[in-house]
Copies of this chain bind each other. A is one copy, B any other.
Amino acid sequence: LDFIDLLSLLVLVNIGNHFDLKASVFQAPRRGIYSFSFHVVKVYNRQTIQVNLMQNDFPVISAFAGDQDVTREAASNGVLLMVERDDRVYLKLERGTLMGGWKYSTFSGFLVFPL
């Protein structure tokens, strides 16, 4: 681990409480196995949402929130990913809309094992 890894960690730390989806693309500073997890909260919204964790242009895992009767519900998932240098990892709202924006949502990742 060195300074550039640290930078990428801090980027993810900063997006904790409220995050701008456009600013939340993680570009891997080095090859390795990373741990990613997300919790995307829908607020007062009767639509089902589907959130994909994307590696470059491919969906890796999905999460769903589809309850019509609750005010806040999270679509959550997490995974260990083998990532090449400069791969881009980000969240995509595949289905539904987030009327309340990304409030309370989090997206975190860190390097577990450099390769």
Residues of A within 8 A of B (CB): 1, 5-6, 9-10, 12-13, 16-17, 33, 35, 37, 39, 41, 48, 60-64, 66-74, 76-82, 104, 106, 108-110, 112-113, 115
Contacts and interface: CB of A to CB of B under 8 A. Distances in A.
A107 to B, nearest CB: 9
Majority SS of interface residues in chain A?
A: strand
A12 B113 contact: no
B110 A80 contact: yes
B16 A60 contact: yes
Contact of A79 (B16, B69, B113): B16
B64 A77 contact: no
B61 A71 contact: no
Nearest to A12: B80
A110 B32 CA distance: 13
